[in-house]
Structure 1
Amino acid sequence: MSVPTPGPRPGDPRPAEQRPVAALRADVEEAVAGLDDLDGRPVSEHPAAFERVHATLGRALTSGSERG
């Protein structure tokens, strides 16, 4: 039995980016670093900060799933 390779969801208009792992790691580290000063920012800004990290992690995971 073969296991399907994960990839973009059907109908997802965004193509998976093919970027070097080091670049993806740097993107993730930068996004997570954006949470460092969260305690000094208004609570109303927190959701946007978490959404940026979530989106960056999603892109990194999607790009990583295309490697093989």
Structure 2
Amino acid sequence: MLSTLCASTYVAAYNLLTVRLLGEDGRYGIPKIYEGMGRLEVATLPGLTIDLDAVFQKPASTS
């Protein structure tokens, strides 16, 4: 069983999110990689969903 701690990183240029869960042994498990679109439920915070479309939204042009 995995603990409730996690680490995440993202690569904006490629719209990728990497999530690693911290195990009871104090080591991070195999990373899960998500494409930056849709919604992602946060395993460590039940009820929290992240809208990846909004996170990776390109800034509006200011021309």
TM bucket normalised to smaller: under 0.3
Of Structure 1 and Structure 2, which has the larger fraction of its residues in helix? 1
- TM-score after normalising by structure 1: 0.21
Name the larger-Rg structure.
1
- The structure whose RCO (Cα within 8 Å, separation 6+) is larger is 1
Q: In proportion to residue count, which structure has more strand?
A: 2
| TM-score between both structures, scaled by the size of structure 2 | 0.22
